[in-house]
């Protein structure tokens, strides 16, 4: 009887110690995503403006997705298993055109509380917002594609 009471107490304590919100993974730059068996990572988080105001988008590479409307889920890691749906592809650039290898994923409204714009593992990045650039500006690039598209 004592063993049973201890086991029930341990289960209750474990349940109380792990709130449901703690299990939700963040949607942020650097997180692994999967779409119909393809895998990639998120780049930056974007707020919709004008007629798109109120929407939040996560970016990825266009070559990672097959088209608008494709369901996107967080993944357990690179080539991992789907964890949870976070949204669907809203725009796909032309990956064959220089500078157009990007896509936007509209984050589902019920997942907005999971959005964190900081780069995974680097909470101080980004440091601001750019509204344009000029030749000679210093820019930091992070990620795989930089060595393949030098200007």
pLDDT digits (tens, 9 = 90+) for 82-95: 999 999 999 999 98
Taking a C-beta distance cutoff of 8 angstroms, is the pair 24, 114 a contact? yes
Residue 110 pLDDT: 96
| Residue 107 CB neighbour total at 10 angstroms | 23
Integer Cα distance of 2 and 8 in angstroms: 10
Integer Cα distance of 42 and 87 in angstroms: 12
Which residue in this structure is represented by tokens 């709130």?
Answer: 19
User: Which residues in the chain land under pLDDT 50?
Assistant: 1-22, 145-151
Which residue in this structure is represented by tokens 């750019």?
Answer: 130
Write phi, then psi, for 6 (nearest 5 degrees): -65, -40
Instruction: Quote the pTM value.
Output: 0.72
């Amino acid at each position: 009887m004592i063993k049973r009471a201890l086991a029930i107490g341990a289960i209750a304590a474990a349940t109380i110690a792990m709130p449901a919100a703690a299990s939700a993974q963040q949607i942020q730059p650097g997180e692994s995503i999967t779409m119909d068996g393809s895998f990639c990572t998120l780049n930056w988080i974007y707020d919709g403006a004008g007629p798109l105001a109120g929407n939040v988008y996560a970016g990825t590479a266009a070559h990672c997705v097959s088209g608008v409307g494709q369901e996107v889920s967080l993944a357990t890691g690179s080539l991992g298993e789907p964890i949870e749906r976070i949204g669907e592809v809203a725009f796909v650039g032309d990956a064959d055109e220089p500078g157009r290898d990007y896509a936007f994923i509209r984050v589902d409204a019920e997942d907005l509380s999971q959005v964190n714009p900081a780069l995974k593992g680097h909470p101080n990045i980004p440091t601001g917002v750019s509204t344009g650039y000029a030749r000679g500006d210093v820019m930091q690039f992070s990620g795989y594609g930089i060595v393949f598209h030098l200007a």
